[in-house]
Structure 1
Amino acid sequence: MKTGKPLLKLLIFATVTVLLTGALASTLGSFDFGGTTYRARFSDVTGLLDGDDVRIAGVRVGQVRDIRVVDNSVAEVTFTVDGDVPLATSVLAKIRYRNLVGQRYIALSEGPGDGRPLRPHALIPLAQTSPALDLTALFHGFRPLFTALTPDDVNKLAYEIIQVLQGEGGTVASLLRRTASVTNTLADRDAVIGRVVTNLNQVLSTLASRDQELDQTIGSLQQFVSALAADRVAIGDAVDSLADLTGATADLLHDARPAIADDVVSLDTLAGTLNRNSAVIDQTLGELPGRYEALTRVASYGSWFNFYLCDFDGRVTVGNQSLNPATLSSPAARCAAPGGAR
């Protein structure tokens, strides 16, 4: 009993899910499970595909089953219609646009005639069918108008044009009203368009007055381009050499980077030392001229220095006693002179 109730609930849930999924797939996938089969011949079925809708008054009643070429000149379309929807021998079949993306469908309608029932697998002749509109030719005619519209307005107007020309939703009057609104928009921008034309006229006049300079510029540019083309091999070699130089420079910097880093650190240390001893350095630099002058006088006889021994005092310390075994003092005038070397 404990197992039966959950199992029953699961079966009910699975059944309902399968039914709903099937209904959704049938709706989205346009599946058709049966119906009466008919054939129709068209002069052009461009864009019509297997599985496209068959509609009566906008209501889907079937779908296209097969498309093939017969008699090497016309297309024969096989389609199905729901069994509860009878067709007459006077039926008219038209291929219409479903949307601007290019999807199409077959629209069935009653035509003039006796209205006898159409037998299954019967053929709707070419005289009772119409192909889809040639959108390329249609939109080429409206190109000057489309160039002045925004993309949204182009889509709306194009869709209304198709609907009107296919006899669906809307009238020629509504199409003319929208075209008139577009024309009014262009009229509102007449001043802007006029200024653009005036400015363009001034630019063209300036170019016309300087046609010789423009011609010379174009000629010089042509010569420059021709020279570049003639030297393309040398330019290519130079580019290659530049690439090699760049690679070598990169390698050099890569190899020298550690030494440069050490040098930068050492320079920082040296700069700090010089900064801390700036007073000594200033004093030394101030005394150097006098020192250099004295050295210049001493070395005036040649690339050597002359020294004179004026005084000598030798002392020897033994234990706590200090002995003075030799003392020498020269009586020379050089030693007695002021500033003499002693």
Structure 2
Amino acid sequence: MRGLAAPLVKLALFMVITVAATGILALSITNADLSETATYGARFTDATLLLPGDDVRIAGVRVGQVEDVEVADRNQAHVSFSVDAGRKLPASVTAQIKFRNLVGQRYLALGQGTGADPNAVLEPGGTIPIGRTRPALDLTALFNGFKPLFQALSPDDVNKLSYEIIQVLQGEGGTVETLLAHTASLTSTLADKDRVIGEVITNLNSVLTTVNSRGAELSELITQVQQLVSGLAEDREPIGEAIDALGGLATTTSGLLQDTREPLKQDIAALGGLVHNLNDNEQVVEHFIQFLPTKTAALTRTVSYGSWFNFYLCEASGEVGVPGLVSTPLEIPVLPATQARCSG
């Protein structure tokens, strides 16, 4: 007997461990909760594929499980679920059936509602009314709408797109609501600007009508522009040479101006002096200009006899001085003015 004791103890130990592990595995598979729970109910218009044992979650954290799903009032579904007894549900709690994965598994999501006393709680055994519940998204109707798109995608892309669509339309409701709010705001703004938009469209129609009525001229203009561009393209080499020549001319002109800058500066300065001199002798210049026609007429008559001038010497005089002998030069008249033509 003593020889059989050790094997019997080992066998008993193995059986206890195996039964315990099997029980733990069974509890994990069935999502059974051995802790104390409180049971509640919720009414839905549709609870398709929500099964007993599915998770009950708050903010993505599992807090309980679905206990039963049954028909109520002929056209509604009553879902019984349990939640950890230590977790109190607010009186304004909401419930929504969401997709757990693309295989079709669901879970019940609880949320914080509005409009009730934040300190009030839903007593165990209470029921969430249908006004604060939402059924799962109808994937059949949704994916039928995307069927033409899915036909052009690979299976992996279809699965990824389907999951993202579910996340957006179901798990990201706030984002969709914000998008719809912005769309409504844009629509309202466009409605407020209806008159301005109408005037813009009317004016645009007028412009298009005018352009359409000048179709022949516009076509001719485009043709001429095309011909001009083609001609410029064909003459690009002469145009390039002309541009180079203009560059050389500009360089030469620049050098010329640089060489003549100093003489030009001197000429301008001398011209300024001439102007000042003429201004200082204004009366002489004015007298000269005033009697210039008379003098020109007399000179013209004088030279009309030939290519010479006739002069008559009326008077001549000079001075004679001897250095060292005469201190004052002597003035000697040579031709005294005694003729009648020299008088006056």
The TM-score normalised by the length of structure 2 is 0.46
